[in-house]
Amino acid sequence: MIIPTRQFGPVDIDEEKIVSMPKGMPGFPGKERYILLSHEEIDPILTFQSVEDPDLAFALMDPFLFLTEYAIDLDAAVKEMNWAVEKPEELFLYTIINASGDCPEEITANLAGPLLVHTGLNEALQLLIPDERYSPKHSIFAAEEERAEG
């Protein structure tokens, strides 16, 4: 199946890898089917591309690459979605990245609204984390900046 994308042009995807968001993506009603795309030139950032809308895509990143102490309880989300988890490796947690400027130091991650993907079921859920330790605009270079200053 070929889908149009704004960032990468037409992309040939395997329909079996389409990720469903049964509860939708907050703020984007009716957009419930996505595909995870990876490209070497933007690694370790992934693109969560809407299958229904070529202009709708989210940049994702593993939060543990820049915040090793990031810790949230996934049990409630797994229960809410009625997911059976046979192996922990079926669950992937990503943060949505905002890179709206030309300055890499301004790239932020939404730690308060991570995306949980169950690869065994090809389903995802955006979590809302009510923990003041986790900002929706966390600088992904904050740890490096703190080490450089310290």
Phi, psi (5° rounding) for residue 104?
-55, -30
Task: Report domain extents, the chain.
Answer: 2-149
pLDDT digits (tens, 9 = 90+) for 69-97: 999 999 999 999 999 998 889 999 999 99
Note the pTM of the prediction, 2 decimals. 0.88
pLDDT digits (tens, 9 = 90+) for 11-66: 999 999 999 999 999 999 999 999 999 988 778 899 999 999 999 999 999 999 99
- Quickly state the pLDDT bin for 119 (edges 50, 70, 90): very high
Residue keyed to tokens 């900002």: 135
Helices (H), the chain: 75-80, 142-149
Determine the CATH number of domain 2-149. Answer: 2.30.290.10
